[in-house]
């Protein structure tokens, strides 16, 4: 059984999608823990309700990014994870932390990378006038929202879209591609060659 640790900062709908798929599709994996950097992350309640171990490492109690990442790493490694799944984990990560989990940490970003890195991606897409927007699952590297791409999904942008309506359309697709990518990882179907991800499905 592969061990999955999921990191969240908020509502955790992507975490929930991964948990449900893991259980319902009987992956060769278990959710070892859900860890948040905020005590009030509402996703923690869902994890507890499913009997999943939870932990909180409060980021605002640390003045140095390196110190927080070191504490978080220590907590994560207590669960000996094979894969770290960032699911709405709203932190910029230090290179030391990222390198420690090289090749085994995934993120989902709500844009078609390499377009629209950072925050407010739906606003960025509307302002740019793109006709297609979407989401990307990628391995995490030291450069923010870069790293080898595992999966992408595109949605149309409508004339009357707001940030909220666009975010909702993208999120529905996130809940499809993220569990699929994590499953491919735990089933050993993903390899990284240079900056390119190969999937043997
Ligand atoms: C998602 O849109 C994800 O792509 C982004 O932050 C949002 C988190 O939503 N990184 P949730 O906490 O998974 O519901």
Q: How many CB atoms within 10 Å of residue 200? A: 9
Ligand 1 centroid distance, CA of 149 (Å): 17
pLDDT score for 182: 98
Clarify whether 109 is annotated catalytic.
Answer: yes
d(CA 21, CA 176): 10
pLDDT score for 101: 98
Atom number of ligand 1 nearest to Cα 14:
13
pLDDT score for 201: 83
Give per-residue pLDDT as tens, 91-128.
999 999 999 999 999 999 999 999 999 999 999 999 99
Query: Which residue's CA lies nearest to atom 14 of ligand 1?
Result: 13
pLDDT score for 191: 97
pLDDT score for 106: 98
Query: Which residue's CA lies nearest to atom 3 of ligand 1?
Result: 88
Q: Which of 100, 109, 146, 158 is catalytic?
A: 109
H runs (alpha helix) in the chain? 13-24, 43-49, 65-77, 95-100, 121-128, 163-186
pLDDT score for 3: 98
pLDDT score for 49: 98
Ligand 1 centroid distance, CA of 85 (Å): 12
Q: How many CB atoms within 10 Å of residue 55? A: 16
Ligand 1 centroid distance, CA of 24 (Å): 22
Query: Which residue's CA lies nearest to atom 5 of ligand 1?
Result: 88
Spatial CB neighbours of 49, under 8 Å, sequence gap ≥ 6: none
Under-70 pLDDT residues of the chain: none
């Amino acid at each position: 059984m592969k061990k999955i640790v999921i990191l969240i900062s908020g509502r955790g709908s992507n975490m929930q999608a991964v948990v449900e798929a893991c259980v319902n599709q009987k992956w060769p994996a278990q959710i070892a823990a859900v860890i948040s950097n905020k005590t009030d992350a509402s996703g923690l309640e869902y994890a507890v309700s499913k009997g999943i171990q939870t932990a909180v490492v409060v980021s605002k109690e640390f003045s140095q990014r390196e110190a927080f990442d070191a504490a978080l790493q220590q907590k994560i490694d207590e669960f000996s994870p094979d894969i770290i799944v960032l699911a709405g984990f709203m932190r910029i990560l230090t290179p030391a932390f990222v390198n420690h989990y090289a090749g085994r940490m995934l993120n989902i970003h709500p844009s078609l990378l390499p377009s629209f890195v950072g925050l407010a991606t739906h606003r960025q897409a509307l302002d740019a006038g793109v006709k297609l927007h979407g989401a990307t699952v990628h391995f995490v590297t030291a450069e923010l929202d870069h790293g080898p791409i595992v999966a992408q999904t595109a949605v149309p942008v409508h004339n009357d879209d707001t940030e909220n309506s666009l975010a909702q359309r993208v999120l529905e697709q996130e809940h499809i591609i993220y569990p699929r990518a994590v499953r491919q990882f735990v089933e050993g179907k993903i390899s990284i060659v240079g900056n390119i991800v190969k999937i043997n499905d």
